[in-house]
Structure 1
Amino acid sequence: MIADFHFLRPWLLLGLVLPVAVLWLSSRSGDVRNQWKTMIAPHLLDRLIVDVTGGSSIRPSWLLAAILTVGILAAAGPTWEREQPPFVEDTAPLIIAMDLSPTMDAIDVTPSRLERAKLKIHDIIASRNGARTGIIAYAGTAHLVLPLTEDASLIETYTDALATRIMPVPGKDTAKALRLADDMLARESATGTILFITDGVERPAFEAFERNSGSGIVVLGFGTAEGGPVKTPEKGFISEGGNRVLAKLDVEGLQNLHKLTGADVATATADDTDIRWVSQRIRSNFAEKKATEGDRWRDIGWWLVLPVVVALALSFRRGWVVRTGALLLALRLLSPGDVTAAEFTDMWLTPDQQGRLAFERGDFTDAASHFSDPMWRGVSLYRAGKFADAVDAFASVDRAESWYDQGNAFLHLLKFEEAVAAFNKALERRKDWPDAQANLVIAERLLKEQKDKEQEEQQEPNEKPDSVQFDDKGKKGKEGQINIAEQTSEMWMKNLQVSPADLMARKFSLEVEKRKP
């Protein structure tokens, strides 16, 4: 603590010259002999000066110098510890990197390694109380499934859709997944954690883990050392040379990963022990980083206001200053019209601070009415479900984040063409932004489906048929019943064009094609 002590605004310490000057001037003005020695003869001056003793031992000049000294030290900002800045989440962001290599379909744990991992992800999300979480899928390539979001239902929907078949390139490249996760966390103000859910980390990826220093890494292994056959829902058991492929959990490789890189490693358990272990690692990593790499230093100078107030109290004469202040406050309280709580709140908090308090309470409508910052007002309106008003608020700011938020609001308003334009604007201002790229793909797909639907409706025949013929043979048909519910469900399933898994498969394939030279 002593080693970290310093001043946030050390240049203000130059003001310590003032109390020294006050004491020096006071000493000169209080020396009566020095004032009169040029006008009265010394032998007479000694007889005329009366040495007054007693009275108060606290001289006004000393009190003023003390007040100035403490005030200057407070303004210089003494500090020795860090703090988290306002408007930053208290919970660490988490990136979950899901291994979708073929061996994750092994059935040595029921129903399979991948399905068991999905259940564990659900438990992890439930334990994080709405903290921001992102999902990455990787095999031979690494792809963003979901950017960091607080929407637990959305995370669970896309997690349930993960399958090994959606990956465009087979194999396993953990280093690519680590680089993608690092890029996502690099844009975050809070320290994050990367959780790898896998059945092994290949040896060439160890070097990438050793280089990683910005985020904590946690590896949760799935499978058994004895291994099990690999069974996919589409092809059944995978075989090579007539023998079924037997995939084993790389226990030795995970242990070496921990020894060489310091990454936290554990294997999945049948109970919730592994979930509590992961949650503890996330919290420990966040607390450790915040303590050593805090976002800013805490200004302790505010506490020096108390001795200044006490010293100033001694300078009051007969209590007139206090009585005047009390009188003015009493007149306001007794004046016609009630003194509202808002008036007192406005005395101490800015509109943005009041909006932040309402935002934290979950009263987003009230927060939007207070915020003067257009981005915060837009976010509050978005959270309140007032998407059209949110677009108007975001529109006053020409930044990548503003266009991105406008695109999300347009999606809720089913204005897919405007959403595509907004996401493109966001990408113009921030190149290769994964969040905007992912949402742009979704907006373009929805826009295409909307246009295709409108085109089909325009092509429907509106003219009456030239003739109508009846088939008398139909009268001899057998009687039967049609289950309307089953028919409707079947028709709905046929009309469902793209599932989340198919959507991710197409997206990943397009990304691979785009990366090719």
Structure 2
Amino acid sequence: MLSNFEFVNPQLFWLFLLLPLVALWYFFKRNHQTATLKISSIKGFKTPKNWLARLRPLLFVLRLLALAAIIVALARPRTVDESTRTVSNKGIDIVMAIDVSASMLARDLKPNRLEALKNVAARFIRDRVTDRIGLVEYAGESFTKTPLTSDKSIVLTSLKSITYNTVIEGGTAIGSGLATSVNRLKESRAKSKVIILLTDGVNNTGFIDPKIASELAVEFGIKVYTIGLGTNGMAQSPIGIRADGGFQYGMQQVEIDETLLKEIAETTGGKYFRATNNTRLEQIYEEINELEKTDIEEFKYTNYNELFRLWVLLALGFLGLELLLRYTVFKSFV
């Protein structure tokens, strides 16, 4: 409730330290505030108790309250209402090309390469608040999973549904995956167009040469970041299918065409990364997130509601009441 309340000059509250001093001064000087008469004895005077005399310090209390209200008014209390408006007219269009071949089920990343990628990619997508993002799946062939959209819920739902299946032809067609991604971005008018191409193998199928696809990316002003996914050496990978339909795992050599991935990245002005574990994969996406910054303009509007006038009126009210009582009810004591 008080989060939007502030004082412009809070240092003036130190003046409250003067009020106890003023009160002490009044306490010691109160008997000298009115005229006195010295007589030898008052035995002949009837001295009934006078309640007005006892209430006379009320005048001083009213004056102290007026001083306190003035101090608060000088400190300038006010409420602050802030609103912001974010404008981004220089967004980035990003297509994530994801390898979904059987080798992506290898368990060198936990729980496997594909699920590790999906977890990290989901955080990356959430961070790209103002950008449009699309998804492309590829194995032996490729297709668009999600076209470019700024609706992150759609992209995240599509990403979650990506699994290995036997519908897509087997193999790894890097050229096809890259060409499909380029096709999604070629008509884009964004200030920056980016493809994040991830694979854990070598280009061993498809009708499009990856080098030709990378040249198309250059022609349309698209930057490609390539990620080679997998440990160095051997990895527990699917080697067959059991009778129950599940995969049989065994140790296999990890083969990633790093030369090709580096060439694609270099040709398009991107960068090549190698992810050998979950932590490194997270670091790669964080680095890409930093490299591809979106220009965001934030306009802040502040509305101040000054409240000092209320305290000034309160101080005048206390002073007015004091004067009224002083020259009416307590007139005989002045």
Matching of residue 225 in structure 1 with residue 235 in structure 2: no
**Deviation by residue 1:401-429 (Cα, 9 ceiling, x = unmatched):** xxxxxxxxxxxxxxxxxxxxxxxxxxxxx
2:292 is paired with a residue of what secondary structure? helix
Change (3 A) 1:161 1:175: same
Q: Percent identity?
A: 22
Give the residue type in structure 1 aligned to 2:291.
R
2:165 is paired with a residue of what secondary structure? helix
Map 1:137-216; keep pairs closer than 5 Å: 137-190=137-190, 191-202=192-203, 204-213=209-218, 214=220, 215-216=222-223
Q: Which whole-Å CA distance do the structure 2 matches of 1:161 and 1:234 have between them?
A: 20
Offset of 1:145 from its aligned partner? Answer: 0.6
2:234–2:252 contact (8 Å) kept in structure 1 = no
TM-score (norm 1): 0.35
**Deviation by residue 1:147-193 (Cα, 9 ceiling, x = unmatched):** 11122222222212111215421111121122221221122211311
Matching of residue 235 in structure 1 with residue 246 in structure 2: yes
Give the residue type in structure 1 aligned to 2:274.
T
Partner of 1:102: 102
2:98–2:137 contact (8 Å) kept in structure 1 = yes
Change (3 A) 1:250 1:153: same
**Deviation by residue 1:49-93 (Cα, 9 ceiling, x = unmatched):** xxxxxxxxxxxxxxxxxxxxxxxxxxxxxxxxxxxxxx9842201
Offset of 1:256 from its aligned partner? Answer: 4.9
Map 1:182-331; keep pairs closer than 5 Å: 182-190=182-190, 191-202=192-203, 204-213=209-218, 214=220, 215-231=222-238, 234-237=245-248, 245-258=252-265, 262-268=269-275, 270=279, 272-283=282-293
Offset of 1:210 from its aligned partner? Answer: 3.6
Offset of 1:236 from its aligned partner? Answer: 2.0
1:92–1:193 contact (8 Å) kept in structure 2 = yes
Change (3 A) 1:192 1:225: same
Q: Which whole-Å CA distance do the structure 1 matches of 2:254 and 2:134 have between them?
A: 28
**RMSD between superposed Cα atoms in Å:** 3.0
2:226–2:265 contact (8 Å) kept in structure 1 = no
1:94–1:195 contact (8 Å) kept in structure 2 = yes
Q: Which has the higher helix share?
A: 1
2:91–2:130 contact (8 Å) kept in structure 1 = no
Q: Which whole-Å CA distance do the structure 2 matches of 1:88 and 1:161 have between them?
A: 30
Q: Which whole-Å CA distance do the structure 1 matches of 2:119 and 2:128 have between them?
A: 15
Q: Which whole-Å CA distance do the structure 1 matches of 2:265 and 2:189 have between them?
A: 27
Give the residue type in structure 2 aligned to 1:205.
P
1:107–1:229 contact (8 Å) kept in structure 2 = yes
Change (3 A) 1:261 1:188: closer
Q: Which whole-Å CA distance do the structure 2 matches of 1:261 and 1:184 have between them?
A: 16
Map 1:451-470; keep pairs closer than 5 Å: none
1:134–1:146 contact (8 Å) kept in structure 2 = yes
Change (3 A) 1:109 1:182: same
Q: Which whole-Å CA distance do the structure 1 matches of 2:152 and 2:136 have between them?
A: 15
Offset of 1:131 from its aligned partner? Answer: 1.9
Unaligned runs of 5+ in 2: 1-86, 301-334
Partner of 2:19: none
Q: Which whole-Å CA distance do the structure 2 matches of 1:173 and 1:97 have between them?
A: 11
Q: Which whole-Å CA distance do the structure 1 matches of 2:292 and 2:202 have between them?
A: 20
Q: Which has the higher strand share?
A: 2
1:175–1:208 contact (8 Å) kept in structure 2 = yes
Offset of 1:212 from its aligned partner? Answer: 2.4
Tell which structure's C-alpha radius of gyration is larger: 2
Unaligned runs of 5+ in 1: 1-86, 288-359, 362-517
2:137–2:145 contact (8 Å) kept in structure 1 = yes
Change (3 A) 1:219 1:201: farther
Give the residue type in structure 2 aligned to 1:280.
E
Offset of 1:114 from its aligned partner? Answer: 0.5
1:130–1:151 contact (8 Å) kept in structure 2 = no
Give the residue type in structure 1 aligned to 2:248.
F
2:202–2:255 contact (8 Å) kept in structure 1 = no
Q: Which whole-Å CA distance do the structure 2 matches of 1:173 and 1:216 have between them?
A: 19
Offset of 1:205 from its aligned partner? Answer: 1.6
Count residues in correspondence.
197
1:218–1:281 contact (8 Å) kept in structure 2 = no
Partner of 2:58: none
Q: Which whole-Å CA distance do the structure 1 matches of 2:292 and 2:128 have between them?
A: 10
Matching of residue 119 in structure 1 with residue 119 in structure 2: yes
